[in-house]
Amino acid sequence: MANSDPIHVAVGVIENTDGDVFISKRHKDLHQGDKWEFPGGKVEVGETVYDALVRELREECNISVQTASPLTVINHDYQDKRVVLDVWRITSFTGEVRQTDGQDWLWVPVYALGAYQFPEANVAIIDLLENPL
């Protein structure tokens, strides 16, 4: 088990009007590289998780989040690092979603998410999207 403090990450599930979800592929040289992810990133010092969510989605996908609701919190130990994924469903936003870092990106129907390779911590998120409580 990694013994440093866990990394707190804000993660956004963005749906379009067809009910498809936005995913992008992590750069191959990053942690969990070459896997698909939901947009997001680390919460910085002095930021709330919601601030981080808004900032990351502006930086990574060019949108302005208006409202979002908490979906789940996932604690996961990757051996090399521990993460706490604070996952939000984006309920309204302005702007047109696009990937700003040159990563591959896709809109995928929820039922098809299982066909893509995500980091291990995302399995629980995808399960929740496929089988809402």
Tokens of 12: 């956004």
Least distance in Å: CB of 120 to ligand 8GT?
7
31 binds ligand 8GT (CB under 6 A): yes
* Residue 38 lies near ligand 8GT (rule: CB under 6 A): yes
> How many C-beta atoms surround the C-beta of residue 112 within 10 A?
12
Query: Taken in order 56, 57, 62, 63, is the CA torsion positive or negative?
Result: negative
Decide which of ligand 8GT, Mg ion, none touches 129; Cβ closer than 5 to 8 Å per partner kind.
Answer: none
Q: Which contiguous run of DSSP H or E holds residue 77?
A: strand 64-77
Could you give the CA distance from residue 72 to residue 11 in angstroms, rounded to a whole number?
Answer: 10
Question: Should residue 83 be labelled a site residue for ligand 8GT when binding is judged by CB under 6 A?
Answer: yes
Segment holding 128, helix H or strand E:
helix 123-130
Nearest distance, CB of residue 60 and Mg ion, angstroms:
6
Nearer to Mg ion, 12 or 41 (CB): 41
C-beta of 26: minimal distance to ligand 8GT in Å?
7
CA–CA distance, 99 with 125 (Å, rounded to integer): 21
- H-only helix segments in 2-105: 49-61
110-129 residues in contact with ligand 8GT (CB under 6 A) are 119, 121-122
> What is the smallest separation between the CB atom of 133 and ligand 8GT, expressed in angstroms?
20
Interface positions with ligand 8GT (CB under 6 A): 7, 9, 11, 30-32, 37-38, 40-42, 81, 83, 85, 119, 121-122
